[in-house]
Amino acid sequence: MRYRKIKKIFLLLGLMIPIILCDANEAFLSDEHSHIQIKEAHVQGVPKGSTIQASINGHTFTADFSVNIGQVVLEITTSVGASVESLSVLTPNSLQINISNTGNYVVTFTLSNGDVYYGEFTVTN
């Protein structure tokens, strides 16, 4: 009786260990590409924040606009408000910006209709 319980425990462990190891291996092998959550700051009409994808990989900030939402002003500031980059881009489009210093940053997307979206991220290495 006791042998069967021990056997079941070992069988369950035998099934769980490969899954745990695969997840751990994936975490170690993944690139440092971190998704930046885009939030609404001021939106008058239909929210379009889901059409903006942003990420940070090392010192490279990437923004991808999956649909045409018109002209977008993108501004990156430090967490205390010092301007790092400001530019205007037509969508749909993608862009990359190199951020030379480590620290905490805020990216703000202002659409031509006045809607504002933002995301916070950290450059660590």
pLDDT at residue 36, as a whole number: 93
| pLDDT recorded at residue 15 | 58
Residue 37: name the closest of 109, 86, 85 by CA: 109
Q: Give the model's pLDDT for residue 19.
A: 56
Amino acid letter, residue 13: L
Residue for token digits 């425990």? 9
Kindly give the residue spans of alpha helices, DSSP state H, lying in the chain: 2-29
Predicted pLDDT at 10: 60
Predicted confidence at residue 9, as pLDDT, reads 65
Bridge partners of 64, per DSSP, are 53, 94
- CA 7-18-4 angle, 5° bins: 5
Quote the tokens at residue 31.
Answer: 């690139």
3 state DSSP class of 82: coil
Regions of the chain short of the pLDDT cut 50: 21-30
Cα separation, 57 vs 107, whole angstroms: 15
Residues 111, 88 contacting (CB under 8 angstroms)? no
Q: What is the pLDDT of residue 30?
A: 44
Biggest alpha carbon distance in the chain?
73
